[in-house]
Amino acid sequence: MTAQLTAPSRTRPATVALWTLQVLLGLMFIVGSGAPKLFGEAYAVQIFSDLGTGQWLRVVVGVLEVAGGIGLLVPRLAGLAASCLVALMVGATGAQLFFLSEGFWYTPVILGILLGVVAWVRRGEIVPRR
């Protein structure tokens, strides 16, 4: 038996707003956050050096951010991608608060809240595992 996904009824302005948010978040995670980590941008390298985890974590986080950003742009994956990125932002907030001295903890919090909105709105579209 396969799960049937039914698109919830949303007004056109709500649908446009949701997709605008998803596209902006997707581009931010792909271009603004994930790609610099994957390409070894100096600031990203420095952050993970300061964390003391090694550069392997930078690459893993970069891959997860790019994959999540792409997932936000795919209708079937958007809710799941947003949920996974919320978890990543919880980790980023913890890293900022407890291990880094820069104090930019509010950035992952804001992104996490926006991703949480997407995850909540799209929660009915996440296919349950059977």
Residue 1 within a domain: no
Q: How many residues does the chain have?
A: 130
In a domain, 99, yes or no: yes
Secondary structure element (H or E) that encloses residue 88, with its range: helix 78-98
> Is residue 91 predicted with pLDDT exceeding 50?
yes
* From 15-29, 49-63, 92-106, the region with the lowest mean pLDDT: 92-106
In one letter, which amino acid is 77?
A: L
Going by pLDDT thresholds of 50, 70 and 90, the confidence category of residue 5 is low
Average the pLDDT over 114-119 and give the result: 97
**Token pair belonging to 99:** 């291990």
Contact 27, 69 (CB under 8 A): yes
Q: Read off the tokens for 70.
A: 């792409």
pLDDT of residue 55: 93
| pLDDT recorded at residue 10 | 82
In the predicted structure, residue 1 carries a pLDDT above the cut 50: no
Distance (Å, whole) CA 20 – CA 7: 17
pLDDT interval class at 100 (50, 70, 90): confident
Number of domains in the chain: 1
Residue 9 lies in a domain: no
Asked whether residue 2 is assigned to any structural domain, the reply reads no
Q: What is the pLDDT of residue 105?
A: 87
Residue 127 pLDDT > 90, yes or no? no
- Residue 49 located in a structural domain: yes
Residue 101 covered by a domain: yes
Task: Give pTM, 2 decimals.
Answer: 0.88
Q: Which domain holds residue 98?
A: 14-122
- Residue 74 is assigned to a structural domain of this protein: yes
**pLDDT tens, 49-77?**
988 888 999 999 999 999 999 999 999 99
Buried-state track 31-57, b at ≥16 Cβ within 10 A, e below 16: eebbbbbeeeeeebeebbeeeeeeeee
